Amino acid sequence: MILMLTRKDLVNLVRGCSPPVEVFDHPLVKPHYEYCDHPQRQYWTGLEQMTEAELWTLYLICVPRT
């Protein structure tokens, strides 16, 4: 099966991710991910300026593997 993703799809995939604490300091995660403990909220910034390769890599970093 082949899945074709647009740039918008990749941005939405990343926005739907909650990265594990272990990757908060990763060079691709740190400048784009904000987490506030109180009140508890999280959000992504600057994803629109990233390349498709960076977005895909960021997604792979943030998605837990089983």
CA distance 21 to 61: 11
Residue 1: inside a domain, yes or no? Answer: no
For residue range 9-46, list pLDDT tens digits in order. Answer: 999 999 999 899 999 999 999 999 998 877 778 899 99
Report pTM.
0.85
The count of structural domains within the chain is: 1
Residue 3: inside a domain, yes or no? Answer: no
CA distance 37 to 18: 14
- DSSP states of 41-53 as a string? EEEE-SGGGS-HH
Domain holding 46, by residue range, is 16-61
Residue 9: inside a domain, yes or no? Answer: no
SS3 36: strand
Q: Which two three-digit tokens encode residue 27?
A: 């060079």
CA distance 39 to 59: 25
